[in-house]
Structure 1
């Protein structure tokens, strides 16, 4: 493979004007969210001075996303998905605008901020499953992994740049400025989706509880989908390391608070590097094997992170973990869309969205609990080892996942 081919696989952007619109829309939405999260945290702390209250903001948003994610999946298999995403994105825009108004007006109500953030989370959950189905409709199967890798790349860039810019804007113009930028980004996102063709599902079911149960049953009885989602659960629930960063920084690096930021940045840098080299894995047909390999790299690297006490080696382990995570997420997303008939894509995407939203939080809780009973390094090493053991067992037992190829 040439050096150019090993870099970003941009075939989807060249081949499809509609995918370009989708990519710009998704990138704008993600960037605005990363800018606004700093303003929310800063304002919540200013109003309450309570770490519990700051944590409650994230919890409220997560609950809104998870509760509405399944409902959004059911709706996505019954209505025009484009219209659903446009309406939910416009709703998010209104919530961001109201956050900006309350900040500029000096309302100083933590309850109002909590309510608006919860509404935003709920609207995100309603629209995310439908948005996740778009790439499979707009791109041929052989370009789907590349399209998802481009979306992952824009997410990693937003993760690196967005919070830093959000901090600068909040410091210079107040929280209202960051919220206003988020609202503008969401308007761009809604416009981009509105330019797409109508996307009605093929043979979907009437939305409701029966439809949701049918979607869960479909995943549970499909070894490829069930195995893919279990791969994600093993990686996040068993090996998520973020809750351990403060303790490891204190135990091994003299408690320097900069270490926590460097640890987080190392994961993001690894993910960004994988996105910039997406051509090395997006053309591979063995999607099942690729996602297992990426998750194995994540687990092995995090076990290594728990063992080392040299800073640059620790950062290198985290970077490898971040790269493995991107490889796994991209190939898992492609598998999910390609192995699911269009009539079920909304509900299956809803389950995938909920696992992605809740899994890291559960994993951080597990890591913190184990560290409390033992130590942070033990929690990191044991989590990585358990993740690898679980993945190897799954790969050995689930031949359908292990041998799954892109159609």
Structure 2
């Protein structure tokens, strides 16, 4: 057991031969500590996706109102944003293993309460369901920054991209299988089983995470104070403004999601253009995830990418071109194919942007950067739905999608020219970028004292 970072007593990754194939790189799974974190992702993802189906279904059963279902999404989004940012700051101020254990245990209890309320006489109460849905979202928002921030310390910087690809591939599998299984169980009339599966997944995650060593971030001394964590959110944004490479990992994703997230137009297409196909809506919603999953399974090459910034821009440009094709598609199979290509591009972008954040940010800022990442990932598609819905209702679906795709392609070219540090970013120089960021942080903290 050798220290990897900041004196952490975690397992030193063993030297491995770089894989040359296209298959998903499973090298990080040789690391026992990472296997526990990965196992926690795997056992919780299915239940989480099932709950994301069950909650809106139960809300509609209670109210008969699609508006109330929409409000439920907002109820879940608010704690996701608040605790995503706060959870990132907390992850930079306390032992991350302990934080993962607390948040996973909290999620298990909340999911168990969802199962209990589903068993009570009657169909339940909307206020109780909203409180529990908000709690589930909040615990997830606190857990994810800590889980992502520990990856470099567990597997080493060279394996960060491969570790991200593994986790994201499992997530995409859950996105596809979870809703299908939830629909089957809901059809059998036993909603409580869905929530129980989610609760048991988090219990299993707690048991796995208990076997990890302590994982404190660098430079942490003394007990966690809430005020300090809140101030840490502001410090994270102030730091981000000085780091163009890290800042652009968020900006390019916001552009991609804002101008080309297609979900809002699926119902209209299903009822108008593809009216003859009863399964068209399901295929449209599955299209992006199918592409992401297939790319994940063939992502061995992604972990070997050195020019990560350039490949991110290219991947998002592919997303934009594929959305243009989707907007012009006249048949369902062609539309789904375009969505799958878009999903493959998004998968590459997500894996590499996560790797850039985890390696180019100093350890004491990783939690906060992952907190911002969660907010961007959660908020971008919702803003994209709003844009797509407004444009589709005024100028039509084709114009809404094609114009958005064109904007994305042009914007990626502009980013490459306007922010050359992002375009030129190399994984092999991530340590240098992180050291420079850490030096700037030290200088900023020392400046008031010297004055």
The TM tier, using the shorter chain, reads: over 0.9
Question: What is the alpha-carbon distance in structure 1 between the residues aligned to residue 399 and residue 309 of structure 2?
Answer: 30
What is the CA distance between 1:281 and its match in structure 2? 1.8
Structure 2 CA distance for partners of 1:371 and 1:280, relative to 1, 3 Å? same
Q: 2:56 aligns with which of 17, 21, 41?
A: 41
**Farther off after superposition, 233-242 or 165-174:** 165-174
User: 2:130 — aligned with what?
Assistant: 114
User: 1:182 — aligned with what?
Assistant: 198
Q: Secondary structure at the match of 1:351?
A: helix
Question: What is the alpha-carbon distance in structure 2 between the residues aligned to residue 306 and residue 383 of structure 1?
Answer: 10
**Farther off after superposition, 189-198 or 213-222:** 189-198
**Farther off after superposition, 186-195 or 145-154:** 186-195
Q: 1:334 aligns with which of 355, 359, 368?
A: 355
Q: 2:164 aligns with which of 148, 158, 165?
A: 148
Q: 1:358 aligns with which of 379, 382, 386?
A: 379
1:322-344 CA distance string (max 9 Å, x none): 10000000000000111100011
User: 2:404 — aligned with what?
Assistant: 383
Residues 7, 279 of structure 1: 8 Å contact kept: yes
**Farther off after superposition, 153-162 or 250-259:** 250-259
Question: What is the alpha-carbon distance in structure 1 between the residues aligned to residue 219 and residue 405 of structure 2?
Answer: 42
User: 1:79 — aligned with what?
Assistant: 94
Q: TM-score, normalised by structure 1?
A: 0.96
Q: 2:47 aligns with which of 29, 32, 53?
A: 32
Q: 1:281 aligns with which of 286, 297, 302?
A: 302
Q: TM-score, normalised by structure 2?
A: 0.87
Question: What is the alpha-carbon distance in structure 2 between the residues aligned to residue 72 and residue 242 of structure 1?
Answer: 28
Question: What is the alpha-carbon distance in structure 2 between the residues aligned to residue 106 and residue 7 of structure 1?
Answer: 50
Q: How many residues align?
A: 405
Q: Secondary structure at the match of 2:93?
A: coil
User: 2:38 — aligned with what?
Assistant: 23
Residues 19, 25 of structure 2: 8 Å contact kept: no
Q: 2:181 aligns with which of 153, 165, 171?
A: 165
Q: Equivalent residues in 2 for 1:1-400 (5 A)?
A: 5-14=21-30, 16-106=31-121, 108-172=124-188, 174-204=190-220, 207-254=228-275, 256=277, 258-400=279-421
Q: Secondary structure at the match of 1:6?
A: coil
Greater Rg over alpha carbons, structure: 2
Residues 19, 300 of structure 2: 8 Å contact kept: no
Residues 166, 178 of structure 1: 8 Å contact kept: yes
Question: What is the alpha-carbon distance in structure 1 between the residues aligned to residue 402 and residue 395 of structure 2?
Answer: 11
What is the CA distance between 1:256 and its match in structure 2? 4.3
**Farther off after superposition, 346-355 or 304-313:** 304-313
Structure 1 unaligned blocks of 5 or more: none
What is the CA distance between 1:361 and its match in structure 2? 0.4
Question: What is the alpha-carbon distance in structure 2 between the residues aligned to residue 337 and residue 221 of structure 1?
Answer: 17
Residues 248, 377 of structure 1: 8 Å contact kept: no
Q: Secondary structure at the match of 1:252?
A: coil
**Farther off after superposition, 121-130 or 232-241:** 121-130
Residues 204, 344 of structure 1: 8 Å contact kept: no
Q: Secondary structure at the match of 2:303?
A: coil
Residues 203, 343 of structure 1: 8 Å contact kept: yes
Structure 2 CA distance for partners of 1:95 and 1:72, relative to 1, 3 Å? same
What is the CA distance between 1:360 and its match in structure 2? 0.5
Question: What is the alpha-carbon distance in structure 2 between the residues aligned to residue 337 and residue 380 of structure 1?
Answer: 32
Residues 40, 206 of structure 2: 8 Å contact kept: yes
Structure 2 CA distance for partners of 1:312 and 1:256, relative to 1, 3 Å? closer
**Farther off after superposition, 223-232 or 120-129:** 120-129
Q: Secondary structure at the match of 1:199?
A: coil
Residues 40, 175 of structure 1: 8 Å contact kept: no
Question: What is the alpha-carbon distance in structure 1 between the residues aligned to residue 316 and residue 66 of structure 2?
Answer: 32
Residues 20, 301 of structure 2: 8 Å contact kept: no
Question: What is the alpha-carbon distance in structure 2 between the residues aligned to residue 3 and residue 304 of structure 1?
Answer: 34
Q: Which runs of 4+ in 1 moved over 3 A?
A: none
Question: What is the alpha-carbon distance in structure 2 between the residues aligned to residue 26 and residue 3 of structure 1?
Answer: 24
